[in-house]
């Protein structure tokens, strides 16, 4: 089954706004990480979608479009069995999740789409990884990081008033 039919059958997205937000995150990954050498067929990449919502939206989309292990974390996540390969879910806050264990052989990509989590808590959760990248599409919360994003732009394809995309490379 292709990505679109699978995501539709799983009722991952409630509306077009949510689809465009998750696609905006994937476009950022594609344009700024994959095009610079990160392999979407690699089994040494973990994506951690923090604040993913009631369903594992961004993590599920990325799991369908890559071979990466994708982890969805949200305290409001509805617990159920998902039919998407390489998708793990945690109904919790990122700072309370135990089990996201990278090592110095793996790459982590943290994806925060309108997340209310502190970015510093997200980075602390993946401290054992070799390389850590962060894609942030902020909503109403400002970054608590002490450094600026490497790339920041407006994605007009995101059907929300909050269209800013921030990319942090190698923020370990």
Per-residue pLDDT tens for 89-136?
Answer: 999 999 998 767 677 789 999 999 999 999 999 999 988 899 999 999
Output b/e per residue, 111-149; b: 16+ Cβ within 10 A.
bbbbbebbbeebbebbeebebbbbbbbbbeeebebeeeb
> Which CATH number characterizes residue 48's domain?
3.40.50
pLDDT tens column, 6-30? 778 887 888 889 899 999 999 999 9
Residue 56 above 90 pLDDT? Answer: yes
Give dist(CA 54, CA 132) in Å, integer. 25
pLDDT of residue 14: 82
pLDDT of residue 165: 97
Give dist(CA 135, CA 105) in Å, integer. 21
Residue 3 above 70 pLDDT? Answer: yes
In terms of residue numbers, what domain contains 52? 3-168
pLDDT of residue 139: 87
More confident of the two residues 45 and 140: 45
For residue 135, give the nearest of 27, 59, 28 by alpha carbon: 28
pLDDT of residue 1: 60
pLDDT tens column, 62-81? 999 999 999 999 999 998 89
pLDDT of residue 128: 86
pLDDT of residue 4: 76
pLDDT of residue 99: 67
Give dist(CA 162, CA 109) in Å, integer. 21
For residue 168, give the nearest of 111, 102, 97, 101 by alpha carbon: 111
Give dist(CA 33, CA 109) in Å, integer. 10
């Amino acid at each position: 089954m292709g990505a679109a039919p699978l995501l539709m059958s799983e009722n991952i997205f409630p509306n077009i706004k949510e689809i465009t937000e998750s696609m905006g995150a994937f476009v950022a990954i594609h344009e700024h990480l994959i095009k610079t050498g990160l392999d979407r067929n690699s089994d040494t990449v973990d994506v951690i979608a923090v604040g993913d919502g009631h369903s594992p939206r961004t993590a599920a989309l990325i799991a369908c479009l890559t071979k990466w292990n994708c982890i969805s974390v949200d305290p409001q996540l509805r617990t159920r069995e998902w039919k998407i390969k390489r998708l793990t879910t945690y109904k919790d806050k990122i700072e309370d999740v135990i089990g996201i264990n990278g090592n110095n052989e793996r790459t982590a990509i943290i994806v925060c789409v309108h997340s209310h989590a502190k970015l510093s808590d997200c980075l602390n959760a993946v401290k054992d990884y070799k390389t850590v990248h962060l894609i942030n599409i902020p909503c109403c919360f400002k970054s608590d990081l002490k450094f600026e994003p490497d790339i920041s732009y407006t994605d007009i394809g995101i059907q929300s008033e909050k269209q800013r995309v921030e990319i942090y490379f190698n923020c370990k």
